[in-house]
Amino acid sequence: MKPLPPLILALLVTGCTETPSTDALESTHTSPNLDPVNVVEPVLFVAAGLNTNGSLVRNYQRGLQYAMDYFGRYGPYYVYLLGPDSEQSVRHIYHQRALTRANADARLGSLEEQTQKFLNQPNIVNEIRSVLSGMAEGGLTWTQDPPILYEDVTTNAHGREKDPVENTWGALHEYHHVFQIAHCDTKQERTSEKNINSWISEGMATYSSAKFMGNLGLSDFEDYMLQLRTSGANIGRPSINEFLRESSDWQLNDEGYWDTGEFAQVYYMLGAWATAYLIHVLNIEEEIVLRDWYYDIPRMGKSAAFRKHMGVSLNEFYRKFDAFIRQTDSVVMQIFDGQTEDN
Ligand SMILES: [Zn+2]
């Protein structure tokens, strides 16, 4: 949930740059939103010129609705599918976006003052510029102070429109992050007990979105997992096999790979395989690995929740997985034998 280097970002299926919003309004910190009940439906804002035949929204919703059925409802969740065709439409949507972020606390300024403040933020000014020039940017953002909300912003949704499979895939991936963030304190370091490591966030979302795409009949899950090893699939280079040949001392929980630039994909690819290991080698139910164990993180912390649900400590898991993943493709692929695409 940290911006990827541009090279890798361009290769990512999800195009996600998940970052906490830096513009959250000042307020008392509250607990993450843990209550999936009574959360309104996600709201999709679509700029003029897009979705003329309905397929953009339909293919996004295909992923989003599947993910919400699986993970439950968290939000409010606002989806922005934007493009350069109508500046008036784009500015109208950003004005509405500002209103969703306004805090009812009058001490923070009037509605109009808060709206103008948001629209004048340098990152928002730049984002609107990107939309109007047709640049593909954006990703998942969220606020850490009230009003708590999540946003999936696509600055040039014409790309999504032309690629129905990637459109659905991205919607699945980002909603898993919404679920994760709802059970984490993202103000804490990702190594802390109340937040999750990058391999957990990106790896589990990479696994779940690929698995769900397989369930929907839109991709071949097992082939995708193999590709992560051999070619890096749609995540990036080097592939898992290339990376492991060069890195005899890598650690899955080392957050430093973000900073080296070339290894950020480790969290996606090896994290996806670490997720597969939990489900297919340790035989933990998929719903527990992808969803249920998160419920305990706010209360007992990441390490205790992991041990409770997976039956091993995180450190023991890292040791076991390291030995597993260094085996050949044909050996590790055996973990999927007898699996179906249905669940
Ligand atoms: Zn992601």
71 C-alpha to center of ligand 1: Å?
A: 16
pLDDT tier for residue 20 given thresholds of 50, 70 and 90: low
Flag whether pLDDT at 77 surpasses 90: yes
pLDDT tier for residue 18 given thresholds of 50, 70 and 90: low
280 C-alpha to center of ligand 1: Å?
A: 22
Sheet-wide strand order for 150-154: 19-20, 138-142, 150-154, 77-81, 43-46
Q: What is the pLDDT of residue 243?
A: 92
Q: What is the pLDDT of residues 292-320, one digit of tens each?
A: 999 999 999 999 999 999 999 999 999 99
50 C-alpha to center of ligand 1: Å?
A: 24
Mean pLDDT of 11-36: 41
91 C-alpha to center of ligand 1: Å?
A: 27
For 340, the token pair is: 């179906």
Mean pLDDT of 276-289: 98
SS3 of 46, please?
strand
121 C-alpha to center of ligand 1: Å?
A: 25
Q: Where are the domains of the chain?
A: 6-181, 198-336
104 C-alpha to center of ligand 1: Å?
A: 31
Between CA 341 and CA 43 the distance in angstroms is 30
SS3 of 80, please?
strand
9 C-alpha to center of ligand 1: Å?
A: 10
31 C-alpha to center of ligand 1: Å?
A: 22
pLDDT tier for residue 106 given thresholds of 50, 70 and 90: confident
339 C-alpha to center of ligand 1: Å?
A: 25
